[in-house]
Structure 1
Amino acid sequence: MENIVNFGEMQFNLPKNQSNVIKVIGVGGGGSNAVNHMYKKGIEGVDFVICNTDAQALNSSPVPIKIQLGASLTEGLGAGANPDVGMQSALESRDDIETMLGVKTKMVFITVGMGGGTGTGAAPIIAKIAKDMGLLTVAIVTTPFAFEGKTRNDQAQNGIKELREFVDSIIVINNNKLREVYGNLGFKSGFSKADEVLSTAAMGITNVITNHYTQNIDFRDANTVLANSGSAIMGSAKAEGVNRAQDAITKALDSPLLNDNKITGAKNVLLLIVSGINEITIDEIGEINDYIQSEAKTNVNIIMGVGEDVDLGDSIEVTIVATGFDKKQQSQISTIESKKIVYNLDDSSKVVKKETLVVPKKNTNNIDKPVNKEPKIVHQLDKDLTTPLTLFDITDVESTSSKNIIDKDEVSKEKGFLGNDFLDLLSDVKNELTLVNEVTENKTEE
C-alpha cells in the first residue's frame, strides 16, 4: 500500500510497507548530486531522499523521494548561498521532513557539500529532527575547494560546527585532497569528482551495513560503533597480488578520505573485507586485523564483516570506519581548514627551504605583557634568502584563517607568478610543517 504525500509543492508515492530502515538524504546541491549518483548505481537496502530549495534541481533528479525546502520562502529559486535562508527553509518544511523520517526509519545518512546556502543551513535542522526522533544519524560532508574563497570556507566551518551538535558521527572529506589524488582537474570535472567521492564515502559505509555477506555487520553493530561517537574517519582500498591484504589495508589507512588523519587512539572500528574469485584466507584476515591494532595503538574493538563479490576478480577490497577518539583528537579530525605554509621565493627557483621559516624573537622587555597586535608581515621578493619573508607565530593552526598572512594573490601581484604556477608550487610542498616556538640559543645569537 502506498500513501500519496505532498512535500512542499511536489507530490509522490511513499511506499509505506516497502520503506527501508536506512535513509540516505542529500541536502542542497552537492549532497543531492551525491545521492543522484548513488541512486543510479542501483544500491539496494536504503531509501534515497533529496532535499533542496531549488525546484529545478529537484525536478531533474531521478530520485523518487524529494522534499522542496522552503517553497514559500524561496519560491523554488534556491537559497542564494545564504545558510540562514537554508535554515529557515528547513524549518518551514519541518512537517514534511518528520513525515519522511517517520516511515520505518532507524538510521539516517546525511550527505552535504558544505559552504553554500541550502546544505550548510538546512543539514543541521534535518539532523536535529532525526536525532529528536531517536534515529542513529551520521553526516558525510565535503568542504569547499580553496579557490571557492574565504567566505564559502568560513560558512563550511560554521556549518560543520553546528552540524556536529546534532549527529552521532560525522565524516569530513576535504575537496582540496582531490587535486593531490587526481591532478589538476577541469572546473566541471573537479566538482563532478567531489560529488563522486562524497557518493563513494556514503556508499562505502552503507554497504558495510546493508549488504548480506558470509559474516554480516548489522544495524546493532553499526550502532555500537557510530552512536554518539563524534568525528569518524574512513578509508577504502582495493589490492591484488601476493601481498594484497597488506597493500589493501595500508592504502585504506592512507586514503584521501582520511584527510591526513590517522586511526591512532580509535576505540571502535567497523571493518568490511570483500574478496573476489580468490577467497580471503584466515591468515590474510589476521594480517589486516593486526595492522589495524598496530596503527590504532589501543585495544581497539574491531567489528568485522567478510564477504565475496566476483566482480572484484583477484582483488580484495577493505573498507574501514574508525571512531571513539578522545576530545583532543576529535578537534583535530574535525579541523577542515588547510594549514598555512609560509616560505621564501627567489626569482630563479621554486625551492622551499625550511631554514627560512623563522619564528620572531621574543621581546624580553615585555615578556609578561600580552600582545594583541596582528602578526607582522614582511614582504621580501629579491634574491637574498638570508632574511625571512614572513615573520609570525603559527602555533595555533586554526587561528591562522583570520591572520593577514601572505596569499597567492599577493605573491602574484608582487612577484609576477601566475595563479596556476603558485598552486603547482603549493602541491609540491607538504601540507604540514612543524615550527618550533623558540629558536635555539645559537640562532638567537646570530
Structure 2
Amino acid sequence: MENNDFLENISITPKNWEEDKSIIKVIGVGGGGCNAVSYMYSQNISGCSFIVCNTDAQALKKSPVPFKIQLGAGLGAGCDPIKGRNAAIEAQDDIAKKVLDNNTQMLFITAGMGGGTGTGAAPVIADMAKKRNILTVAIVTLPFKNEGNESLSKAIDGIHELEKCVDSLLIINNEKLYEYYGDLLVHDAFPKADEILATAVKGIIEIIQKPGYINVDFADVKTMMKDSGMALMGCGTGTGENRIDDAIRQALESPLLNDFDLKTAKNVLINITIGKNEQGLSMKGLDDINNKIKEYTGNANNFKRGIIFDEDPEIGDRINITAIATGFKMSQLNDITDVSQGNIIVIRNDYDGRRLPGEQIELPEVAARKIGPTNATNVRRFNFIGKEKPVLIVEPGQNFSHLEGESARARAIRRMSESGDSGQD
C-alpha cells in the first residue's frame, strides 16, 4: 500500500498532453538514455521533441524533460532486460500515443546497453516505430569494461536485438573516455558521451530544417539511413587558418565513436555551413574540403553534399561540417564481434553462409546467449531452434571479419582437408 501511495504522488506526464506536431522525436530509454536526453533538453536544441521513459519512477521524476512515460510499476528492472522488455510491452499503448503519433517521421532512441531497462525496452520501442515506417535511429553506449563481463554480455545481446529493429545504429564506446579524457575530473569526463550524442542529433535536425544553396532535406537523410545498418555521425567546427582541417577532423574522428574504416561506408552525406560574407569559403576552399573528405571516405556508393549559407554576422569565418556515414558491418566492431573459443552463435543463414529471406520464427522468451565467455553450457554445441539452420562455428582466434570472405561450406572442406579427412569413404 505504501508503494502505491508513493507512486500515485508522482506526476509522470502532463495532464493536458497535446499531440506533438514535431516530425522528429528523441526518446531516452532507461537511466543512461534518460540522462542523455536530459542533457540534450538542457542545451535547448530546437526542432524536435524530447521524451524520457524508465522503469524507475524516482529517476524519472528527477529528469527536467516534461514528457515522461513510466514503464511498469516504477520500481526499476533490477538489471534484468527481460523485465525491461516486458515493462515496455505493457506500456505499448502509451508509447504509441505519445511518441509514435501520425506526425512522427523520425525517431532517435538513446539508451545505455548492459542494464535492464535500456537493454530490454529499447528494441521493443524501435520495433514499434519501424513497423509504422518511421525512420528509426538508435544511439547507444557500451558499458565500461570494469563493469564486468555480465554487463558487457547483456549489452552485446541487446545490441544484436536492437540491430534487427532499427534503420541505423550508432554505438558510443564509453571505454574510450579513459583513452581521450583520462586527465579530466570524473564529473567533467562522463558528460562527454552525452555531448557527442547531442551534437549528432542536433546536426541531423539542422540538416533537415535549414534550407541550403545545395539543399539536403529529410528525403535525402532517409535515403542515407533507411535500412542502412551501422552508422557514424559527427559534427566539426573550424575557424582561422586551419579551419578546414579542424572541422573535417572533428566531424570524422570523433573520439567516442567506434573505429570504422570510412572507406567501407556505403552512403556518405556531408553538409557544410559557411558564412555568406567576405570571410566565407572560396571555390578553392570548397575543392579542398571535397578532396580531404574523399581521403577519408574513398568512393562511397551514394555520396550527397549540401551547402548552407548562414547570414548570421556572428558566424565570421567559421565552418561547420556535419557528416553521416552508413552501411558499415557489425563485424567491423571488435568490441561486439570478438568471441572466445567455443562460442556458438545461432544464425538464420543457409548452409554456405549467405543470408536468405526466410520465414519469421517465433523464438522463446529466453534464448541461448549468443555471445559470451566460454562455459559448460555453450562449448562446441549445436543449438537448433525450430527450423533454423546450423550454427556458425567460430574457430580459436577468429572473429566475424575473418569469416566474411569464406562460406561455411568452403570452410568445412578446408577444415576436413587440414585434418587429413576428405569426407569420402
TM over 0.5: yes
Identity over aligned pairs, percent: 47
- Answer yes or no: is 1:317 the counterpart of 2:316: no
1:107/1:137 contact within 8 Å kept: yes
Aligned pair count reads 335
Alignment of 1:170-209 (within 5 A): 170-209=169-208
| Structure 1 SS opposite 2:107 | strand
Corresponding residue number in structure 1 for 2:28? 26
- Answer yes or no: is 1:10 the counterpart of 2:12: yes
1:215/1:304 contact within 8 Å kept: yes
1:318-338 Cα distance to aligned partner (Å, 9 max, x none): 22111134xxxx023444359
Instruction: Output the amino acid matched with 1:137.
Output: T
Whole-angstrom distance in 2 between the partners of 1:151 and 1:51:
24
Whole-angstrom distance in 1 between the partners of 2:162 and 2:314:
37
Q: CA deviation at 1:108?
A: 0.6
Alignment of 1:299-318 (within 5 A): 299-307=300-308, 308=310, 312-318=315-321
The structure with more radius of gyration: 1
Q: CA deviation at 1:148?
A: 1.5
Whole-angstrom distance in 2 between the partners of 1:211 and 1:37:
23
Whole-angstrom distance in 2 between the partners of 1:394 and 1:318:
42
1:189-222 Cα distance to aligned partner (Å, 9 max, x none): 4433333333333333333323444444221011
Runs of 5+ in structure 1 lacking a partner? 1-5, 341-371, 375-392, 400-446
Query: Which of 36, 39, 49 in structure 1 is aligned with 2:38?
Result: 36
Corresponding residue number in structure 1 for 2:398? 396
Instruction: Output the amino acid matched with 1:314.
Output: D
| Structure 2 SS opposite 1:51 | strand
Whole-angstrom distance in 1 between the partners of 2:213 and 2:270:
14
Corresponding residue number in structure 1 for 2:62? 60
Report the CA distance shift for 1:286/1:90 in structure 2 as closer, same or farther (over 3 A): same
Whole-angstrom distance in 2 between the partners of 1:173 and 1:146:
13
Alignment of 1:419-438 (within 5 A): none
Over the aligned positions, Cα root-mean-square deviation in angstroms equals: 2.9
Report the CA distance shift for 1:96/1:164 in structure 2 as closer, same or farther (over 3 A): same
Corresponding residue number in structure 2 for 1:162? 161
Whole-angstrom distance in 2 between the partners of 1:316 and 1:263:
22
Instruction: Output the amino acid matched with 1:91.
Output: I
Corresponding residue number in structure 2 for 1:434? none
Whole-angstrom distance in 1 between the partners of 2:153 and 2:314:
42
Q: CA deviation at 1:251?
A: 3.8
Report the CA distance shift for 1:296/1:194 in structure 2 as closer, same or farther (over 3 A): closer
Instruction: Output the amino acid matched with 2:287.
Output: G
Alignment of 1:153-302 (within 5 A): 153-275=152-274, 278-302=279-303
| Structure 2 SS opposite 1:274 | strand
Whole-angstrom distance in 2 between the partners of 1:214 and 1:14:
38
Whole-angstrom distance in 2 between the partners of 1:334 and 1:134:
28
Greater displacement, 282-291 / 226-235 = 282-291
Instruction: Output the amino acid matched with 2:178.
Output: R
| Structure 1 SS opposite 2:263 | coil
Greater displacement, 281-290 / 82-91 = 281-290
Whole-angstrom distance in 1 between the partners of 2:176 and 2:230:
18
TM-score calculated relative to the size of structure 1 = 0.68
Q: CA deviation at 1:37?
A: 1.1
Report the CA distance shift for 1:395/1:310 in structure 2 as closer, same or farther (over 3 A): farther
Runs of 5+ in structure 2 lacking a partner? 1-7, 340-373, 377-394, 402-425
1:24/1:46 contact within 8 Å kept: yes
Instruction: Output the amino acid matched with 1:36.
Output: S
Q: CA deviation at 1:271?
A: 1.2
1:353-406 Cα distance to aligned partner (Å, 9 max, x none): xxxxxxxxxxxxxxxxxxx999xxxxxxxxxxxxxxxxxx9732579xxxxxxx
Corresponding residue number in structure 1 for 2:80? 82
Q: CA deviation at 1:70?
A: 1.3
Whole-angstrom distance in 2 between the partners of 1:144 and 1:15:
36
1:48/1:65 contact within 8 Å kept: yes
Report the CA distance shift for 1:115/1:185 in structure 2 as closer, same or farther (over 3 A): farther
Whole-angstrom distance in 2 between the partners of 1:322 and 1:68:
34
Whole-angstrom distance in 2 between the partners of 1:138 and 1:43:
18
1:335/1:398 contact within 8 Å kept: no
